[in-house]
Amino acid sequence: MKKKVLLIHTGGTISMHMSEDGGVIPDTNNPLMQESKKLEMIADLIEIEAFNLPSPHITPKKMLELRNLIIDTLKKNTVDGVVITHGTDTLEETAYFLELTTNLEMPIVLTGAMRSSNELGADGVYNLVEAVRVASSDQARNKGVLVVMNDELHSAVNVTKTSTSSVSTFQSPQYGPLGLVTKTLIHFQQAPMKREYVEVNSLDKKVALFKIYAGMDADLLHSAIDCQYDGVVLEGLGQGNVPPAILPAIEKLIQHGIPVVLVSRCFNGIAQGVYGYEGGGKMLEDMGVIFATGLSGQKARLKLMIGLNQEVKPINVKKFFI
Ligand SMILES: NC(=O)C[C@H](N)C(=O)O
């Protein structure tokens, strides 16, 4: 029996076209809406155009709207899986947001394109067909939120955009893809280790993300206090170190009760308290900086924001990041 898939469009290059002057722009008539025939050979569809936005215009509030749209639609309809088309620039953030804020057994699959609908070698419809195949497959159940692009399956936790323009832009640097999509198979070679779920209904708490660099001064970090941020994520150096000049600012943030979470700006490996010199990870740990294991800066920022906005009870930030 044919499966039923909820297909939600949010915009991005997959829904855009190249105009005569060579600029890639959003289309008022989403070209994907004309592709239903190809998709209905795979699954019955419920198709919704939620937004038509370039993904740099997507905010966490929009991600929450999207999450609520999925949950509300599933209350009224029986479906086997969900596919979301999305711009690639922030696709990994929406995918990770949904990973943390949904707890469904059915697959939620995000896909996009690097070439717009009327460009030579357009990859959008191909990726969409694969995403619908994955969303309607039994193998994809209980695997968390997935990203399907360019014949690969990635987990929302590890996937990141690695190239500005290549169709193989999405990679999972630490652990590799979860699997492959071939013409005939959906093949998982590994499964996510754990799944987390956090109940959020609003996003009032603000979290800032700072990339640490050689010679950084403390002034930028002070702005997080002045602008009343509720949490700060630092993308630190190497195994999790910072220049000594920003230590007083980190101390001040912690004194103000603003949690400071540290990840590495390296995209492989884990930030940890190894170095005992001034600004080294060991010293940061002793000061109360919390190390996030293996997440990128943008994902740790979303996780802290979601945690601080949790509905039921305040989180213990340290435990939340273990
Ligand atoms: N390939 C893409 O989708 C990039 C585009 N700028 C977006 O994220 O909306």
> Which H or E run includes 208?
strand 207-211
Look at residue 232 and tell me whether its pLDDT is greater than 90: yes
Same domain flag for 119 and 176? yes
Per-residue model confidence as pLDDT tens digits over 197-220 = 999 999 999 999 999 999 999 999
- The CA distance from 316 to 101, in Å, is 18
- The CA distance from 38 to 42, in Å, is 8
- Tell me if 149 is assigned to some domain: yes
- Tell me if 195 is assigned to some domain: no
Same domain flag for 108 and 169? yes
Question: Residue 226 annotated as binding?
Answer: no
Q: What is the mean pLDDT of residues 248-271?
A: 96
Same domain flag for 176 and 310? no
Active site residue 73: no
What is the Å distance from ligand 1's center to 90 Cα?
8
Same domain flag for 148 and 48? yes
Q: What is the CATH number of the domain that holds 120?
A: 3.40.50.1170
Q: What is the mean pLDDT of residues 15-42?
A: 92
Question: What is the predicted pLDDT for the residue at 35?
Answer: 87
- The CA distance from 205 to 309, in Å, is 6
Same domain flag for 27 and 158? yes
Look at residue 313 and tell me whether its pLDDT is greater than 90: no
Residue to mutate, 17, 24, 51, 55, ligand 1, most ligand atoms under 8 Å from C-beta: 55
Q: What pairs with residue 109 in β-bridges? A: 83, 146
Residue ending a domain, choose from 131, 156, 188: 188
- Gyration radius (Cα) of the chain, Å: 20
Question: What is the predicted pLDDT for the residue at 37?
Answer: 82
Residue ending a domain, choose from 159, 188, 217: 188
Same domain flag for 125 and 255? no
ipTM of the complex: 0.98
Residues in the chain: 322
Same domain flag for 234 and 176? no
Q: Which of 25-29, 82-86, 124-128 has the lowest mean pLDDT?
A: 25-29
Question: What is the predicted pLDDT for the residue at 6?
Answer: 98
Active site residue 164: no
What is the Å distance from ligand 1's center to 162 Cα?
13
Question: What is the predicted pLDDT for the residue at 198?
Answer: 94
Indicate the pLDDT class of residue 283, thresholds 50, 70 and 90: very high
Same domain flag for 19 and 78? yes
**Structural domains in the chain (count):** 2
- Tell me if 55 is assigned to some domain: yes
Query: Which residue CA neighbors atom 7 of ligand 1 most closely?
Result: 87
Same domain flag for 179 and 298? no
Question: Residue 55 annotated as binding?
Answer: yes
Between 222 and 192, the more confident residue is 222
What is the Å distance from ligand 1's center to 171 Cα?
16
- Tell me if 199 is assigned to some domain: no
Looking at ligand 1, which atom is closest to the CA of residue 90? 8
Question: What is the predicted pLDDT for the residue at 291?
Answer: 96
- Tell me if 194 is assigned to some domain: no
Residue among 299, 309, 314, 231 at smallest CA distance from 61: 309
Same domain flag for 29 and 178? yes
Q: What is the CATH number of the domain that holds 256?
A: 3.40.50.40
Per-residue model confidence as pLDDT tens digits over 292-305 = 988 999 999 999 99
Q: What is the mean pLDDT of residues 301-316?
A: 91
Question: What is the predicted pLDDT for the residue at 207?
Answer: 97
Per-residue model confidence as pLDDT tens digits over 188-199 = 999 888 889 999
Residues with CB under 6 A from ligand 1: 12-13, 54-55, 87-89, 112, 114
Looking at ligand 1, which atom is closest to the CA of residue 13? 3
Residue ending a domain, choose from 130, 158, 188: 188
Query: Which residue CA neighbors atom 1 of ligand 1 most closely?
Result: 114
The one catalytic residue among 88, 94, 111, 160 = 88
Query: How many CB atoms lie under 10 A from the CB of residue 237?
Result: 22
Residue among 9, 3, 7 at smallest CA distance from 31: 9
Residue to mutate, 59, 62, 88, ligand 1, most ligand atoms under 8 Å from C-beta: 88
Give the range of the structural domain holding residue 91, as residue numbers without chain letter: 3-188
Same domain flag for 150 and 261? no
Look at residue 116 and tell me whether its pLDDT is greater than 90: yes
- Tell me if 201 is assigned to some domain: no
Question: What is the predicted pLDDT for the residue at 312?
Answer: 80
What is the Å distance from ligand 1's center to 254 Cα?
36
Phi and psi at residue 215, to the nearest 5°: 80, 15
- Tell me if 57 is assigned to some domain: yes
Q: Could you tell me what percentage of the chain is helix, strand and coil, using 3-state DSSP and rounding each to the nearest 5? A: 30, 20, 50
- Tell me if 19 is assigned to some domain: yes
What is the Å distance from ligand 1's center to 53 Cα?
9
Same domain flag for 67 and 183? yes
Indicate the pLDDT class of residue 311, thresholds 50, 70 and 90: confident
